[in-house]
Amino acid sequence: MNDSAELANETDPLSPDTDSDGLRDPDEYEVGTDPTDPDTDGDGVLDSDETFATETTDEETGVTVNVTGEGNVAGAVSVNTSSRTILETASVRNASASRAYDFEAEANFSTATISLPYNDSRVSAENETTLGAYRYNETLQTFVAVTNSTVDTRNDTVTAETPHFSTYTVLSTETWESRFDRALPDKWSNTDNFSTLDGRKRTATSRRRRSTAPESPRATPPARSRRR
């Protein structure tokens, strides 16, 4: 705020927090409290310790966040398009209806409602209502569904509630979940992919294995005696 606006609102242009309640003057206007009164509602709790629901929309991504916490938490939220290459797998691309977004907050919060825009051209009309919000699970190294997410087909958004921030995206539930319903191949392990092995590769492997086996030492023929 400029000095003239501060003076018009009877706030101190030399202080970012006129009433010293821990909530900056601009944030007080955002949450609807009085920047000249440290306890606007007179309940004995400082304005900075009160719980508010604040909202922000990131202009670049179109993501909207409504977050509940002490003070103006929405002002401390950042949303960026994720650039992590681990998310650019074929399985994610096949099921994805939106970009993946990284959410961060510089303040604590109790819960947040995120609204993710999706590209309706990437999903058929009959499957549009089956879209869901998914969170990247660092432990499992994969996306897991956020429970009770809802689809707004008119505005092309998927909305979900979460108690913490991470990387989120919109996936086709049918396409993504079907990956886990497939039968495993006959030769399967956690680390090896046998699906591309053909007969020639297996034969070559067998030859290599046979060639590395130790050979038995050859017997030395007995020396012949010479007649004199």
Residue 223, in any domain of the structure: no
In this prediction, residue 207 carries a pLDDT of: 44
The answer to whether residues 91 and 146 belong to one domain is yes
3-state secondary structure of 173: helix
The answer to whether residues 116 and 181 belong to one domain is yes
In this prediction, residue 50 carries a pLDDT of: 87
The answer to whether residues 145 and 90 belong to one domain is yes
204: tokens are 């070559």
201: tokens are 């590769």
Domain total in the chain: 2
Q: What is the DSSP string of 175-215?
A: HHHHTTTSPPPSS--SS---TT--HHHHHHHHHHHHHTSPP
202 pLDDT tier (thresholds 50, 70, 90): very low
The answer to whether residues 90 and 3 belong to one domain is no
Structural domain boundaries enclosing 170: 51-189
The answer to whether residues 70 and 160 belong to one domain is yes
3-state secondary structure of 81: strand
The answer to whether residues 69 and 149 belong to one domain is yes
Round the average pLDDT of the chain to a whole number and report it. 81
The answer to whether residues 65 and 169 belong to one domain is yes
Is the full-model pTM beyond 0.85? Answer: no
The answer to whether residues 136 and 96 belong to one domain is yes
The answer to whether residues 134 and 56 belong to one domain is yes
The answer to whether residues 122 and 156 belong to one domain is yes
The answer to whether residues 55 and 32 belong to one domain is no
The answer to whether residues 88 and 3 belong to one domain is no
